[in-house]
Amino acid sequence: MLPLNALRVFEAAARHLSFNLAAKELHVTASAVSHQIKLLEAYLGIKLFHRQTRQVSLTPEAETYLPGVRLGLEQISEATRRVMSRQDTTIRINLAPAIAGGWLIPRLYDFYEKYPDIDIEITTSMRLVDFSHSDVDLAVRFGKGYWKGLNSHLLIPEELIPVCSPKLMAQVGHPDSPEGLLKLPLLHVKPKATDWQEWFEAVGIPQKILKMGAGFQNSPLMLDAVEAGLGYGIVSRHLIEQELVTGRIVIPFDISITGSNGYFLVYPESRENDYKIKLFRDWVLEQIKNSA
């Protein structure tokens, strides 16, 4: 009988090109990985890896075999998920911290009212989740909306706008013009340091060199600094709905620019008919429609 566990070990070792890294992923020893590979090689009657001192490489036969193995393992995983999906009442979502607190969480009350028997499990990270090696059902990604093997639905377009705290506004007064923003630190999210440059160009004040203030890893950290009165920030309008309502943040100039990216709900193409995927997707798209 074909050793299915050995196939899983082979796929991991081939992906990492390392028995040690495969062992770490699978929570076994490197010798156990080597043993499973030898079992599979004996079953197939071919050699799968060239073994060198500290590294391995795939043989031509393994290169031919690997795509079919991956497809088979994915189909087994997908079939298992479909069978279990209606029994599992937890929807697992991974997203960036900014959209978690700034957009999704304030809307979850409506979801729980409609689906009281369904639980939501939220994790946040700046990295893109790997659906094939995690139990995440859906994710929200920032980008242009195209990711191989994933379906995507636009949730929030990037509409960048300058913001500050009422405390700062009271201290320095309202700037007479957008150019007045240049007198104070321009807080920014490090991966998107060009946002200010693009905004000033859009309002007709191009700046070759901007004197930037502190940079932050993500929008929530930057907004904390904005609320503390450390300077002006620039952020997507849709991520500060609650802050604007409560008055924790104000908009010095209601001039926004549309970025080329946005926040997208994504999930594997192979799971588009999954019960949990459809349930959450339809609900969140209805939220978008109602807030338009």
The pLDDT value recorded for residue 41 is 93
Domains and CATH numbers, the chain: 4-85 (1.10.10.10), 90-149+271-291 (3.40.190.10), 158-261 (3.40.190.10)
Each residue of 275-287: pLDDT tens digit? Answer: 889 999 999 999 8
CA distance 148 to 269: 9
Measuring CA to CA, how many Å separate 265 from each of 57, 70, 151, 260, 285? Answer: 37, 25, 8, 16, 9
When pLDDT is cut at 50, 70 and 90, the band that residue 292 belongs to is low
The pLDDT value recorded for residue 99 is 82
Give the mean pLDDT of the chain: 88
Measuring CA to CA, how many Å separate 260 from each of 142, 195, 235, 275? Answer: 11, 11, 14, 32
pTM over 0.85, yes/no: no
- 220 Cβ neighbours under 8 A, 6+ residues apart: 97, 98, 101, 102
Please report which helix (H) or strand (E) contains residue 64, including its range: helix 60-85
Answer yes or no: is pLDDT of 166 > 90.
yes
Residue with tokens 């079953």: 43
The pLDDT value recorded for residue 219 is 85
Classify residue 109 by its DSSP letter.
Answer: H
